[in-house]
Amino acid sequence: MRRAAELLRRHRAVWRLVAGSAAAGLAVATGAIALAGPWDAGQRTAERDAAADAERYGSDAERVGVTVPAADPVLAPLDAAARESSPAALERELVPLLENPALGDHVTAAVVDVTTGASLYAKGARSGRAPASTVKLITAVTALHALGPDHRLTTTAVLDAEEDRVILVGGGDVTLTDDDLRALAERTAEALADRGAGTVRVGYDVSRYAREEDHPIGVNTNIAPITPLQINEGRLDDSTKGPAPRSTDPAADAAEAFARHLADAGVDVKGGAAARRTAPEGAERLARHRSAPLSSLVERMLTNSDNDLAEAIARATAVATGNDADFDGVRRAVTGQLEELGLPLGGVRVADASGLDRHGRITARLLTQALATAADPARPELRAIFTGLPIAGFSGTLAGRFDESDGAGAGLVRAKTGTLTGVNTLAGTAMTPDGRVLAFAFMANETTNAGEAEAALDAAATALATCVCH
């Protein structure tokens, strides 16, 4: 790990070659706390690839690749007896950094040892603050708890025989691509041919959600209208992450694309625009497309800070827990799952799943306790939270950060960022020189310079990774 971090500092141009070692080491570290079962030693990646291949050909298998042998671990597990950090020493290190004027006067913070669960530092940790995108950690924990890591979001084509209509039923998969839709249309065409079906109409069903709705901040480059049927998050360009122009009616766009692909596959498609319909109960399924497992979706959401995916995952949680798939249902579902996990809800107000709504309130205490819970060896279903965290100085929303202090925290910190105007937050894990893994949350509201605030937060996280705090 130290060698990887040093290489990151000295050879910035070749980070992609060395940070993988740092990432693998951190993944091992965050669990020896061990990443057990199918998450062990690279096997999950092989399973994911096999699952993608199977899904491409319409396999119904829920689990694939279980016989793929695991790769040897990159690093040995950490010694659980590694020396613990001293709260007093840690406080001496953190206090001046968190008093940086760039963070303003409303900083809250918490640090816990994920192995012992002991609180090492707290400053206003029970006070709610606007979390920005660090709330995605809560979205991830509650979804994985409610649904399990193998859950998939399913887009289905069904036949309404009375109307000779193929209905595309949205299942909340915002990662659906045009290629996925084409493959679904081709399988649908095969099923229609097998049944001797002639001319068909096309419709689309968005009834999985109680209503289609815009996020309170409106439709903009950060998020599309929230609907259970859309291609690539309603993006109107070829991007797969970050801001992009968005469709104002992504469900209708997806249905029109599906109709075109059906026609290209040889189906006689009648009529004009696809009609919005609710699939009749018991409609015959013709074909389906299933997303990557939830564990992979969580990783993508956290690494890229994907707002559309966060809202979709939270609505899957709402449906699974008997709530409506809208903002009120998300609030009830997330709160209920946090209660089940025994996590602290004082000072917490769930406003959305993405963190775009600045009316939400999360505490530093909740964030660190959620991370510590995910590190519990008895909860392997939550492990994707750690494998999805951006790596300081290398991946996701931390790729361009941690350049201060010669990049000392690069490769040693994994964290979820949060940024709104006047809000800068950071929550994740850091490995100490003694080999302990610490979960931390730093939350600053009413900041005035985002760049300076981010650098100050990075410095605080770096301190955790470099301090011999005895």
Measuring CA to CA, how many Å separate 349 from each of 150, 337, 345?
Answer: 28, 14, 8
Q: Are 156 and 184 in contact (CB under 8 A)?
A: no
Three-state DSSP at 449 gives coil
Place of tokens 């229609």: 192
Measuring CA to CA, how many Å separate 448 from each of 134, 227, 369?
Answer: 19, 35, 29
Element spanning 49, H or E: helix 43-56
Whole-number Å distance between alpha carbons of 91 and 444:
18
Q: Are 229 and 255 in contact (CB under 8 A)?
A: yes
Active site residue 136: yes
* Adjacency order of strands within the sheet including 284-290: 275-276, 201-205, 165-169, 154-160, 284-290
- The torsion angles phi and psi of 286, rounded to 5 degrees, stand at -95, -40
Determine which one of 85, 291, 305, 395 is catalytic. 305
- Which DSSP letter does residue 166 get? E
Active site residue 127: no
Determine which one of 21, 123, 136, 295 is catalytic. 136
Active site residue 241: no
Residue 10: Cβ-neighbour burial (10 angstroms; 0-12, 13-18, 19+): exposed
Determine which one of 133, 247, 291, 395 is catalytic. 133
What amino acid positions are annotated as catalytic residues? 133, 136, 305
